[in-house]
Structure 1
Amino acid sequence: MRIGLVVEGSYPYVSGGVSSWVHMLMQQMPMHEFEIISIMPKPMTSSDYKYTLPDNVSGVTTLALNQKQARPSRPRALTPEQNQQIKTWMTFGQVNQSIYPLLESSIGTPEQFFSSRLFYDLVTSSYEEEGQAGSFIDYFWMWRSMYAPVLDLLQADLPQVDLIHSAATGYAGLIASAIKERQHVPFILTEHGIYSREREEELLQAAWIPSDFRSHWIRFFHHLSQEAYRAADDVITLFDRNSELQAQLGAPAEKLRIIPNGIDATALSALTRQPPSPVLRIGAIVRVVPIKDIKTMIHAAKILQEMFIPFEMTIMGPLDEDDEYAEECMGLIRQLDLEQEVFLVGKVDIRSYLPQFDVCLLTSISEGQPLAVLEGMAAGVPWVVTDVGACAELINGRSFEPFGPAGFVVPPVNARRIAERCSWFYHNREDARKLGENGQARALAYYRTEQFISEYVQLYEERGVAYGGHRV
């Protein structure tokens, strides 16, 4: 079977997180061929890859959001009904997969569409209906910037596949929905974090968007998510809380399914733990980017220093995904006089580090089901995590589980609570060891690679047969 994997802002150009999940999925399914469709903010080439592609990857199609993808085409005369369809879809009136052929080939190129009477009338009527009082020119350009990537992506040349699998809604879900319509193949959607909620949080804090336009952008991303939910044959996420959110945001209940992440828990559990040290050894497996809130972690380290707790904090993860933020973090370490305690070591082999840690930290302000936490749990390391995504579920377990807590859950952006919990680990070594054992047992029972791969293998086969098994 040739499987198309659609990703946004990740594989193979960004390491960790969803990219690790994609890489593992392909490595564990040598019987299938994979086509990667990678949506990135800017043009990228194979020299930018962060991964060596598995042998069963047959191609990578990279689509840059700021680069013209559209094929040359000539606009066709549209009927009044088709004009109304486009208006209804673009004003978020309803999701409608049958709109794709119109946007792909009937309206001409994006530039032709944006110069058309249809688009002008669409923006004008929307401006009036919304009761906008600000600059019409700014409103017009908001519409252009909102739909230019959509039309470019829909008019791009895309590979032929037997099944399309998107790792998000948003632009990735849009592409997957269009491929399903265009090629008549099954569409599987896996959301790690809830895309529309994440974009909403970002937009509410974005200084570059006029406040009058924020609600329009938020509605746009929710609209794309609802389109993906409607088009997908299966709407999958990693844990209970996310599945409930998907239902609230419009995903049909009969499509919902939970498939947790998986890791090589058996190998990680075999690592030999180092004996306790007089110094509290703290680890963090994390990309150094704002959403991981490394600065709160560093501020927690300063509080620990002021509490006279002897410690070393090792932050492991790539430093080149957001150079400016990485520099700010290194500057904060110097400013707080923590150069002897806090170390940014870059991307390393975590298996050589995990056995030495007394506790690991995750201070993210948004997460899905972090592989890093699962890896640390499997190695027997307890955690302090923020209450985002599946973190509380991983640490405290689900209602039916026999295992106890694997650490502590704290509110996001709370350096003092993190420091206090780290101090507890320094003063309670034997109880801390028990927390690590709980986490290890949970990881071995519920989060092994073979479990998660088996579910996707079965799902791929079921969907392939349902859409015509002779194709694959």
Structure 2
Amino acid sequence: MRIGLLTEGGYPYVSGDARLWCDRLVRGLGQHEFDVYALCRSERQEEEGRVPLPPQVHRVRTAALWRAEDDGVVYGRRARRRFAEHYGDLATVLCAMRSTDPADTSEDPSAAQADRFASALYGLAELARDEGGLERALRSDAAVRTLERACRAPGAQPPAREARVSELLAVTAQLERALRPLALDWYEDDGLGAVDLCHAASGGPAALPGLLAGHFSGVPLLVTEYGVQLRRHYLSVPVSAAEGAPAVRSLLAAFHGRLAAETYRRAAVITSGNAHARRWQERCGADRGKLRTVHPGMDAAPFAEVGEGPESADPDTLVWVGRIEPAKDLFSLLHAFAEIRTAEPTARLRIVGAPFGPEGAAYLAHCRALAAQLFPDEAAGPHSVGDNPVSFEEIGGPELPSSGAACASGAVVVLSSVVEGFPAGLVEAMFCARATVSTDVGAVVEAIGGTGLVVPPRNPRALAEACVALLRDPERRARLGAAARARALELFTVEQNVAAFHGIYLEILSRTPVHRVLLDAAGEPLPFAAPAEAHLPGRWTGPETRPVARGGPGWAAPPVPATEGAR
């Protein structure tokens, strides 16, 4: 089959989200064809270049979300009216205050608003298709005035009613950026209209081309979210004072919430990487019947030698591996280690990782200062273990050339985070057959199952007690480590991930009517060019119905009397 892979800020660029997962997926499904449609986030991402692509990628088309270009399209009177109508509906939905009265069951205002949002979204896309562009209209004074009228209208939510001109301009600019995919020329028969399935590698802007391919050409949509895009928006930090204003935050949150709901409503299947993300999808409006959990696939080969060989690590060493930032809560880990040293004076702690950004660098400096304060007679050195109980190291040196080597350097791997999605570093430790002690955040419990110890976050004493218990019991460490490796090999390999998506592709295609007829060079239809429709709705047992070869997917023969059928 032919897959349209939709990305935003990731594959096929060298840097970005889900790049490695997309590359492994495409390479693992060599029997299919892939067309990649990528939205680029920044000029730097374009300058860094793209990854080498396998031969099954037949086409790559990109569009820049960071660069605003004037399309030069000037609307006539009728087009201006169409734009005002659709953009006005969109703005009205974003400004509307949702009902909080549970006793009001006369109608479903949320469903009506969802339909109005969808109608406005697809109406703007049809306008862009008919007129040749949308960017100038989205940045026009008319768009700002339309948004202002919606904010001042009766029934608008309080933050919207108090929006100032600068805040209206900020919202208009953000909406223009988010709606740029509506004006792309990707949706014709030589683009996404020719694929059998659209697979969006995330929600949000990446899924928008898939919605339009479904609207214009009936192409089914699969949405994969390893991190729920709407949750990321809620937790994002404003980059300017204007974007942090209550009116701006409220209106943009309404837009992204409506877009997520429409994406979930139109998608044939929605996958998440763990139950934590799946619960978020349900809260954001996803139908439970469409949800599938497909755990991330990781390459187990680099950890095979460590996991299959005898344990050679220092039995008194704890190791933490990850990206150094406040969410990892190394403060609690250091305080816990102070208690561990009281119970086990020979214990050591290796903190292996690099800081993430300026905030991470400042956090690392604080951690070093805290370690020096907690162990004044054994000041923590920057790169050596030696006689120091705590060391701060980075991956890449001769002693720790890889994350696998870092995990293997300790008898117990510790995770102390207060915020975590899918704990990839913890799974690497499982591949290495290491016992683990983790905080109960994100998808940690789902990842480790019963193969490690779990404690509450921000609880140094509980963390210390769990670590001491494993340090004193080598047989238990070995037993948990072996179980962890078996679980990781069963659930978290690249092979299981690719196989799961291959099955989902077939499932979606089997339930989707053929949306296009393929012709040969002579103009004759190719009867076997499209995948077979294996799923025929309706009953298949009993004397009432029977399929007939010439019927379509939903066709069934009329009831046949039992006496006549017996002749």
Q: Give the TM bin, normalised by the shorter chain.
A: 0.7 to 0.9
Q: TM-score with structure 1 length normalisation?
A: 0.82
Say if 1:316 and 1:345, in contact at 8 Å, map to a contact too: yes
Say if 1:243 and 1:258, in contact at 8 Å, map to a contact too: yes
User: Secondary structure of 2:223's match?
Assistant: strand
Could you say which residue in structure 1 is the equivalent of 2:181? 153
1:389 correspondence with 2:442: yes
Larger radius of gyration: 2
Cα distance, 1:122 vs structure 2: 3.2
What code does the residue aligned with 1:136 have?
R
Cα distance, 1:450 vs structure 2: 2.5
User: CA separation of 1:118/1:149 partners in 2, compared to 1, >3 Å: closer, same or farther?
Assistant: closer
Say if 2:340 and 2:467, in contact at 8 Å, map to a contact too: no
User: Secondary structure of 1:44's match?
Assistant: helix
Cα distance, 1:3 vs structure 2: 2.5
What code does the residue aligned with 2:157 have?
E
Cα distance, 1:229 vs structure 2: 0.7
Say if 1:6 and 1:36, in contact at 8 Å, map to a contact too: yes
Could you say which residue in structure 2 is the equivalent of 1:121? 146
**Stretch of structure 1 that moved more, 274-283 or 167-176:** 274-283
Could you say which residue in structure 2 is the equivalent of 1:229? 264
1:21 correspondence with 2:21: yes
**Stretch of structure 1 that moved more, 442-451 or 136-145:** 442-451
Q: TM-score with structure 2 length normalisation?
A: 0.70
What code does the residue aligned with 1:369 have?
F
Say if 1:288 and 1:326, in contact at 8 Å, map to a contact too: yes
Q: Report sequence identity in percent.
A: 23
Residue from 112, 116, 119 that aligns with 2:137: 112
Cα distance in 1, alignment partners of residues 325 and 7 from structure 2: 19
Number of residue equivalences = 457
Residue from 196, 200, 212 that aligns with 1:166: 200
Matches within 5 A, 1:62-461: 62-68=62-68, 71-76=71-76, 77-78=78-79, 83-90=84-91, 91-92=93-94, 93-94=113-114, 95-96=117-118, 98-102=122-126, 104-105=128-129, 108-117=133-142, 119-128=144-153, 129-131=156-158, 132=160, 134=162, 136-158=164-186, 160-161=191-192, 162=195, 163-202=197-236, 209-265=244-300, 268-269=303-304, 271=306, 272-284=309-321, 286-288=322-324, 293-294=327-328, 296-297=329-330, 300-301=333-334, 303-305=336-338, 307-308=340-341, 310-316=347-353, 322-336=356-370, 337=372, 338=380, 339=382, 340=384, 341-346=390-395, 349-396=402-449, 405-412=450-457, 417-461=462-506
Offset from partner CA, 1:167-210 (integer Å, 9 cap, x none): 22112222332233345422110111222123213359997502
1:470 correspondence with 2:470: no
Unmatched 5+ residue regions in structure 2? 95-112, 373-379, 385-389, 515-527, 532-567
User: CA separation of 1:409/1:48 partners in 2, compared to 1, >3 Å: closer, same or farther?
Assistant: farther
User: CA separation of 1:449/1:302 partners in 2, compared to 1, >3 Å: closer, same or farther?
Assistant: same
Cα distance, 1:35 vs structure 2: 3.6
**Stretch of structure 1 that moved more, 22-31 or 357-366:** 357-366
What code does the residue aligned with 1:126 have?
C
Cα distance, 1:22 vs structure 2: 1.8
What code does the residue aligned with 1:248 have?
R
User: Secondary structure of 2:366's match?
Assistant: helix
User: Secondary structure of 1:147's match?
Assistant: helix
Offset from partner CA, 1:120-176 (integer Å, 9 cap, x none): 133222234334564521231132132021232322354824122112211222233
Could you say which residue in structure 2 is the equivalent of 1:401? none
Say if 2:432 and 2:485, in contact at 8 Å, map to a contact too: yes
User: CA separation of 1:452/1:73 partners in 2, compared to 1, >3 Å: closer, same or farther?
Assistant: same
**Stretch of structure 1 that moved more, 243-252 or 337-346:** 337-346
Cα distance, 1:235 vs structure 2: 1.1
Say if 1:69 and 1:153, in contact at 8 Å, map to a contact too: no
Cα distance in 2, alignment partners of residues 307 and 462 from structure 1: 52
Say if 2:88 and 2:146, in contact at 8 Å, map to a contact too: no
